[in-house]
Amino acid sequence: MFHKILEIKHFREALKDVHFDTWLILDLDNTVMTPRFALGGDAWFEGLFVHYRQKNIEQTVAEPSLMSVYNTAQHFVRTSAVESAIVIIIKALQDIGVPVIGLTARGYSIRHQTLRQLADMGVDFSRNSIVPDNDFCEGGIIFCDGKNKDEKLSAFFKTLKRLPHHVAMLDDKNKHLERVMLFLKSLGISFSGFRYSYLDEKVKEFNMEIANIQLAYLWKWLSPTVRKDIMSLKLISEEPLDPSRSSEYADGFFHPDYPLHPVVSNTLGSLPQAQQPKLVRSISAASFFHEKNQTTANSSKRKRADCELPTHIDYEESLQVQPLSKPSRNNAIDSQGFFRIASNENNDLTFKKGQVGMFN
């Protein structure tokens, strides 16, 4: 059993610690996704707290208004992947049966907005998900509502009969990694934490004035209540936007005619059991916690009931990773074994055959 926290600049650096018996837990904001503009992200959210304190606004007045404005903004904010490779890596891990779980400080009340933002950039945490939909989880994501992430992860683990042997986690904030590490240590679960620093410089350059201009662009679509909250926070002037600047933001936001609804993933879950690929079937939500398929926290290794994997494959060939619309192994040269993700001279991601059960 081991527990460590390392700092990494690129997402794929964490893959060396992702094994067949790993659960991968991902923070969302500034780890998987980032807003296309200054408005709507973690830096803006934290900036709102700094702003109302600088303006000497009473906390009892400011914080309800702040949450109202932040949650409303998520109806409009579009996001992009922090690194373009993240979308491919998440799909690749899901395709080979590694559970990938979202763990966010966001509130459950904006779950649909969050799922829409992720779908817009091509990420679906519900593929092969082991996270049930309940009053704090949806679409393969655990929503923490601003609470400590270890508390919500603990609540999720209490719903399970079996626990992972090893957890890897990426987050841009070290405090979340430390708390989750201590929680998992108490359960005897190995932990690899990665403080993800890719956006550190961009966060330092955040400009609240620019974010407020972008907020003003949305003014005509906001309800009277939200407009009042914005004014009480003294975020923008009473004449919020120069119309000539509107075109700058047109493609960076969802507009009111864009549908907001829960994302329904196109997975293999609806297929008859016999038609599902064996590896996918072996770790589906229905069978993942079968005693033969998943170890307890104190077990030394994990067993699978539905597939037998060789201990080593030594091939030199590789194939280019392509985005997949659903879990599948049809693109693999050989149907046995896991893949490691590597880079060629052009920095293109590829799958390479290598040590089974490990990304090298």
Q: What pLDDT tens digit does each residue of the chain (360 aa) get? A: 899 999 999 999 999 999 989 999 999 999 999 999 999 999 999 999 999 999 999 999 999 999 999 999 999 999 999 999 999 999 999 999 999 999 999 999 999 999 999 999 999 999 988 999 999 999 999 999 999 999 999 999 999 989 999 999 999 999 999 999 999 999 999 999 999 999 999 999 999 999 999 999 898 899 999 999 999 999 987 655 555 555 676 667 786 665 454 444 444 444 444 444 333 333 333 333 334 444 444 443 343 333 333 333 333 333 344 444 444 333 333 333 344 554 444 445 554 444 333 344
Amino acid at 169: M
pLDDT computed for residue 245 by the predictor: 57
Scanning 267-358, the segments in alpha helix (DSSP H) are 278-282
CA dihedral 314, 320, 323, 329 (to 10 degrees): -30
Distance, CA of 218 to CA of 271 (rounded, Å) = 42
Q: Tell me the helices (H) and strands (E) count for the chain, helix number first.
A: 10, 12
Cβ atoms 23, 183 nearer than 8 A? no
CA distances from residue 178 to 148, 150, 165, 166 in whole angstroms, order as listed:
11, 9, 18, 16
Distance, CA of 328 to CA of 46 (rounded, Å) = 40
Residues in the chain: 360
Distance, CA of 325 to CA of 68 (rounded, Å) = 35
| Residue given tokens 């659960």 in the structure block | 23
Q: For the chain, what are the domain ranges?
A: 3-238
Q: Global pTM?
A: 0.74
Strands 22-26 and 166-171: parallel
pLDDT computed for residue 319 by the predictor: 33
Closest CA to 28 of 124, 133, 127: 124
pLDDT computed for residue 244 by the predictor: 53
- The enclosing H or E element of 67 equals helix 59-73
pLDDT computed for residue 254 by the predictor: 80
CA distances from residue 206 to 28, 49, 120, 174, 356 in whole angstroms, order as listed:
18, 14, 23, 20, 43
